[in-house]
Structure 1
């Protein structure tokens, strides 16, 4: 019977006298007495309370012993439970709901990468691979190549794209990606800085009258670069249509031979596979190639009304590889600066073509 008062006293600190009565039987072993104070539930309920913070813990960070005991029994982490009681206090029903909630909230496991059947084999190069390899080696050995990179804020382009992409697809039948914007900005800059669009012919520099833009297309057979004729005369809709058409016919092996020749400048979208930027190789007789990286949102410092602020912006890296025999670093910088300014201005409404 003396033990009965002990449970009634558990919620309060004076519960300590109950343990004091129990050691009376094993009086011969005084050593365990210092351990006895750890047994009462009242101190145990107080110690874990600081781990429950924020709205989960209620106004004073207090969780009743009954709720805490239920959470322990059900294996529920109180720090992950949102309280629905007064002031955000966690109730028994909150614990029960958390315990019965479906585990679907966890991120799905990524599918494992499949092992390629080419592993451990030896295969001859395809004809296309041989041609690309030979041209790459000749270009690297015959030119003085280097790469300049700029960082571009394309937030305004991203907003315009999000605003009109539905209407654009309805009007043209093509999805609106960032690539036509990059192509148009580059084509306009090529008109202002024709050295980037020039070709080398022996000891002479040829300045073409058109901006014939090669578009790098990744296919199962290898890399091919079909050409958009007079890219400088196109609008966004025209560029998007030609990019989509050339890419599809390139992958389906439906191109005509002349559609792969005559390019004066190349645009390669290395960001389509997630690359931040690349250092693409210039293929003769061209003198430059522009690589566009993936567009990512990240915090950057911007200036507004004379003060600096941190904002989330859509950013991209543009990498220009060029032949230093005829293009100086200042030429490359001027071209990239012009492309950057056009994209950051983002005023493409009149160029959409819809």
Structure 2
């Protein structure tokens, strides 16, 4: 009875998957929960295990083919019919052996032993099954008939004709394979082997003791060669490496060249990469010294000098100390999956730059999501005025800009009214004019909330300081791809996702931890949904 294996659900919003690799082939046996194939979706790369045990009968979806969830991928049978059909498949080959023997060519060669030549092609053998069973052990030399080392003379053919007819059944397969290899002058001895094939199916064949060592050797060799051939079949794809394993190898600095895999068919698995990485760590001290010595860091000219603080640096220092002493600050952090944002950005960034003249980075997405979250969580945008809380009528978002003179925060007015194109244009303009010292005084004042992109220099996240009179500042870390656990109705799976940390520092005098969490989760949900097509502004 056959069982069908379909593509299972791999995620809440996943509707299709691409078969990247078959780990089993038709005729292979598979056990329950043994990996059948590898499938890739926009959320996960994973192996599909077999729900049943049996023999693969038919593969219905080819590699690199994309199908919908629920599509039948393969049929698996019990494999019980295979042993019964095997002898039946072999029998016709044995019966056809006489037809393939070069009988017409044998007549011109064997002129002397005419009586034997007449018996060779006869269909009805004069030897009865009883005589075959009682055949003496001297019939063993038949296995030497096809040998090419010492061809038998034509005049000896009559003496070998009779033993050939009483050849034991065990030697028949070896003789059938060797017969076509016999040279043309010895065609007569080859033709004499044909009757042995007629006798081969008889169950009363000579017992095993009648088989000599010379007879067993060719058959054993042929059987060994046949048995060894399927062993190397799975190695045809041993060089294939899944994207997950390749990413893991890159992260650990492991070279896949020459690495021996322990997976199905010799495939390299993540355990092989981790073991190779652990082995490499033992010799890391010796190898790590060479790159450090070859690539010396650049020494700053300020090393060993003393310089006075600039006026801007004094202002920043004073404000930082006052803010820390006058407010109760703490930081909350969330990790956000921005894979859908990254995918959208990759699709539209060329068109976006062509139409707006601006590069589309992640920062406009973060700014837009934060501005929207401020409108629904106004306490994050509020300020303290004595014993009162002031809720501004609009969101004026200050953007931290790193300059040679120090950190400055020009302000984007009414940020909640902008789309991605508007944010990209204002961020680029303010950053350029800030570094060129061309800002107007009022462009540095009036901010109600600050956004600082600490990830622009590679930081995962930090705990930024809130500058009074504002009550909160959001720090965005670097966007990195890494393996994470993806959970859905089908279960848990490991997937490569684009991730980022968002850190919100806030004044605990008016903002509680729950307020900060609600604000961060609002941004997180907005970014993970990735629905920004209507906010591009192009």
State whether TM-score is above 0.5. Answer: yes
Return the offset for 1:80. Answer: 4.8
Are residues 167 and 144 of structure 1, via their aligned partners in 2, closer, same or farther at CA, if it must alter by over 3 Å?
same
SS in 2 for 1:335: helix
Choose from 495, 505, 508 the match for 1:321. Answer: 505
Return the offset for 1:306. Answer: 3.3
- 2:524 matches 1:340: yes
Are residues 143 and 110 of structure 1, via their aligned partners in 2, closer, same or farther at CA, if it must alter by over 3 Å?
farther
Are residues 58 and 324 of structure 1, via their aligned partners in 2, closer, same or farther at CA, if it must alter by over 3 Å?
closer
* TM-score, normalised by the number of residues in structure 1: 0.70
- 2:363 matches 1:213: no
Rg larger in structure:
2
- 2:432 matches 1:244: no
Aligned positions of 1:42-191 closer than 5 A: 80=258, 112-191=296-375
Higher relative contact order by CA 8 Å / sep ≥ 6: 1 or 2?
A: 1
SS in 2 for 1:146: strand
Return the offset for 1:113. Answer: 2.2
Are residues 327 and 58 of structure 1, via their aligned partners in 2, closer, same or farther at CA, if it must alter by over 3 Å?
closer
CA–CA distance in structure 1, aligned partners of residues 236 and 479 of structure 2: 42
Task: Report the counterpart of residue 47 of structure 1 in structure 2.
Answer: none
- 2:473 matches 1:289: yes
Task: Report the counterpart of residue 270 of structure 1 in structure 2.
Answer: 454
CA–CA distance in structure 2, aligned partners of residues 206 and 166 of structure 1: 42
Q: Which runs of 5+ in 2 are unaligned?
A: 1-231, 238-256, 260-290
CA–CA distance in structure 2, aligned partners of residues 219 and 310 of structure 1: 41
- 2:398 matches 1:225: no
CA–CA distance in structure 2, aligned partners of residues 134 and 329 of structure 1: 27
Q: Deviations over 1:316-337 (max 9, x none)?
A: 0000000000000000000001
Return the offset for 1:227. Answer: 0.2
Aligned residues: 258
CA–CA distance in structure 2, aligned partners of residues 338 and 309 of structure 1: 25
CA–CA distance in structure 2, aligned partners of residues 159 and 346 of structure 1: 9
**How large is the RMSD of aligned CA atoms in angstroms?**
2.5
Q: Deviations over 1:175-203 (max 9, x none)?
A: 00000000000000000000000011222
